[in-house]
Amino acid sequence: MWRPRTTRIVAYAMAGVIVLGMVVLAIVVAPSFKLIDRVLLVLFGLALAWILHMLARCRVVADASGLTVVNAFRTRRLAWAEVVDATMNTGDPWPTLDLADGTTLGAMGINATEKARAARDFAQLQALLKTHAEAPDPQ
């Protein structure tokens, strides 16, 4: 399983700060704020925390039958035969999987901001694709 470490740490830390900040703000705001206004402040903080959680949950999981790509708002299960290639050019935020149906899919679970880790994870993904996607040589 590949998942970005820094993204998760930053997203969950920010979610905690936002929720805590909104709770404190709801408690100490001017008396002119009604209870519903205070509740909405906290709910807004929780909504932002949920969005950050969705970004932090990104991962790519490989098993014997294929890949599961969990991006921010969509999870997709792919058989090895469906993934033709994976590319990650300089400047790309994450790898792009070229699929057999002609479409592409971003694999947000490998994040280019973690340079050495991303390079290692991407090399492992490519090795697995090479192992599982190629037909054996007939002899």
Query: Residue 96 forms beta bridges with which residues?
Result: 87, 106
CA angle 109, 112, 118 (to 5 degrees): 70
The distance from CA 63 to its chain's CA centroid, rounded to whole angstroms, is: 18
Say if residues 112 and 92 touch (Cβ distance below 8 Å). yes
State residue 133's pLDDT score.
67
State residue 135's pLDDT score.
52
State residue 37's pLDDT score.
93
State residue 29's pLDDT score.
85
Residues of the chain with pLDDT under 50: none
State residue 136's pLDDT score.
53
What are the structural domain ranges in the chain? 5-56, 59-133
Query: Amino acid letter at 47?
Result: A
pTM (predicted TM-score): 0.83
